[in-house]
Structure 1
Amino acid sequence: MTDCQTPYEGMSIEDVVEIVDRGYRMPRPVNCPYAMYEMMMKYWNKHSEHRPCFEYLENFF
């Protein structure tokens, strides 16, 4: 989806952990379908109990 771009380029792992912990999520890549990005956002939920299970993901894809 990102054409092999490095996520969070130029940031240290500590900085990435901090911004993700504060709720930041990468924006939708240009070539990423909206439905796929919505699923990515669900899967990136901070609270694991709110993330889709494997069976749900398997059916979605």
Structure 2
Amino acid sequence: MAGKYEIFADEQGGFRFRLKASNGDVAVTSESYKTMTSVRQGIERVRRNAVTEKVEDLTQDR
């Protein structure tokens, strides 16, 4: 089974999404969005940008 996105209402009256891995673990939880349209757009941005293989290690100077 593949992972999935779940949209849910947050405590501030906004909407968030979480990306769950196939084992049920939460991999990502989003910021709060004011509308259902904007939370769906946020999911689409993640889906489009997640296809990259580039990883930038910002800890390499430590």
Q: TM-score, normalised by structure 1?
A: 0.25
Greater relative CO, 1 or 2 (CA 8 Å, sep 6+): 1
Kindly indicate which of the two structures has a greater share of residues assigned to helix: 1
- In our comparison, the structure showing a higher alpha carbon Rg is 2
Q: TM-score, normalised by structure 2?
A: 0.25
